[in-house]
Amino acid sequence: MTSVVSDIQTQKPGGPLIVHVVRQFLPNKGGLEDVVANLCRQLTGRGYRVRVITCDSLFSDPARKLAANETIDGIEIVRIPWSGSSRYPLAPQVFRHIADADLIHVHAVDFFFDALAWGKLFHGRPMVATTHGGFFHTPKYAAIKKVWFKTLTRLSALAYADLVCCSRSDERLFSGIAGRRARLIENGADVGKFANCAALEARRRIVTIGRFSVNKRLDRMLDVMKVLAGRDADWHLDVIGAVSDLDQATLEKEIAARDLGRHVSLHVSIDNAAIRNIVARASLFASASEYEGFGLVAIEAMSAGLLPVLHTNDAYKALAETHPRLILSDFADPQAAADALTVAFERLEADDLSLREELLRDARAYAWEEVAQRYMDVYAEAMTPRGRQHQPLRQRGQVA
């Protein structure tokens, strides 16, 4: 039986067009942006055409407008005006750029998720969405968010063939409104980016990576460092990220207020080569984040050979269920988190590199090649007309 995707290929040179819609994309750096970029690269290498529709400025610098059209790493990017909140950016021009899509893939639950769902009566494109944690990034307005989720989000979800949940915690949440259409595909990770580059000998050096956002709770991370530095002067923390709702000056003041200038280094918007050099001097990764959609950065840390010590949020707890070597602690308690990091260091110090090998092996399971294949199967099913059986094609160079 010939698949419907093969029929589309004969009609459109280069294969089906997947239009990804996401509120922030390159050149911005972050977990969501990395996921979309890596998926797009995999798709273009397997016969698909891709387009990314995103907002025309970075939320960290809204006054600076980016080019309306650009190609980065072979990915077509269309940027459109927006207004309102960065959590729910209003950008109705999205409808101008989807008419030729074979499938629309919406990333995260925000204006785009709702607008494209309610507009499906007019655009008629098959759609899938990836949850990326929904909109429960902070406990702020929790009651309103729950009502919104159980009403408007539930109704919007009806327009999507599948809701791809990038973590087990997301799957538990979204299955309540989408049933079997909530499908688990854990995020892929660029496991080659920092592969096996952490220090081979145990060092009292910690790396934390992520955008400078309030929910990342870098204040708690610094409180923990204050405790560690008081116990042993060798402890050091490298904070790596890009400005978001916290700026560099604020973080520098927080570091100075705790007298941690000798023990904490701040690295703002550095490239992967520079990050790799910093990771090469470290043994541990830590995250005090109150909320994560999946915990992608922890997987990347594992791929480097760093032992992660993570705050007990839902995503990290779900990750630790699969990877019991990860260490969880409540970073709201600086003494307890400092104890956990000390235990992690001692484990590495006593280890014969078998723990490191286990971390590297676990991280390899998140390689993008396999994750992309699972997405391609979702796409093919969504693009298959009702009553017609989907038959996936697995050979490289063919879309499935």
Q: Are residues 170 and 29 in the same domain?
A: yes
- Domain enclosing residue 225, as ranges: 205-364
Residues 24, 163 within the same domain: yes
Q: Residue 243 maps to which CATH number? A: 3.40.50.2000
For position 53, what pLDDT does the model report?
98
CB 7 within 8 A of CB 16: no
Q: What is the gyration radius of the CA atoms in the chain, in angstroms?
A: 22
Whether 176 is in a domain gets the answer yes
- The count of structural domains within the chain is 2
Q: Which residues pair with 77 in a beta bridge?
A: 52, 70
Is 94 among the domain residues?
Answer: yes
Predicted pLDDT of residue 146:
87
Q: Which has the closest alpha carbon to 309: 328, 335, 336, 332?
A: 328
Q: At what angle do helices 218-231 and 334-350 cross, to 10 degrees?
A: 60
In a domain, 388, yes or no: no
Contact indicator for 127, 117 with CB cutoff of 8 Å: yes
How far apart, in whole angstroms, are the C-alpha atoms of residue 85 and residue 259?
Answer: 35
Same domain, yes or no, for 267 and 359? yes
pLDDT of residue 379: 98
- Over the chain (400 residues), the average pLDDT of each successive run of 10 is 36 80 92 92 96 95 95 96 93 98 97 97 97 69 81 96 91 94 92 95 97 95 98 98 93 98 97 97 97 87 98 92 95 98 98 96 93 96 75 44
Specify whether 172 is located in the same domain as 229. Answer: no
pLDDT of residue 385: 78
In this structure, are 44 and 124 located in the same domain? Answer: yes
Q: Which of 298, 294, 341 is nearest to 318 (CA)?
A: 294
Residue 393 lies in a domain: no
In a domain, 396, yes or no: no
Q: Furthest-apart CA pair in the chain: how many Å?
A: 69
Domain contains 394: no
Q: Are residues 17 and 32 in the same domain?
A: yes
Q: 71 and 33 in one domain?
A: yes
**Residue 205 has what pLDDT?**
98
Are residues 243 and 353 both part of a single domain?
A: yes
Q: Are residues 51 and 88 in the same domain?
A: yes
Predicted pLDDT at 397: 41
The three-state (H, E, C) secondary structure of 295-307, written as one string: CHHHHHHHHHCCE
Helices (H), the chain: 4-11, 31-44, 111-118, 120-123, 142-148, 154-157, 168-178, 218-231, 248-257, 272-279, 296-304, 314-322, 334-350, 354-364, 368-383
pLDDT of 391 reads 53
- Could you tell me if 93 and 182 lie in one domain? yes
Q: Give me the residues paired with residue 113 across strands.
A: none
Question: What is the pLDDT at residue 386?
Answer: 65
Q: Indicate if 132 and 211 belong to the same structural domain.
A: no
Determine the pLDDT at residue 168. 84
Q: What's residue 167's pLDDT?
A: 83
Residue 399 falls inside a structural domain: no
C-alpha to C-alpha distance for 130 and 166, rounded to whole angstroms: 7
371 and 286 in one domain? no
pLDDT for the residue numbered 139: 60
Residue 390, pLDDT score:
56
Does some domain include residue 31? Answer: yes
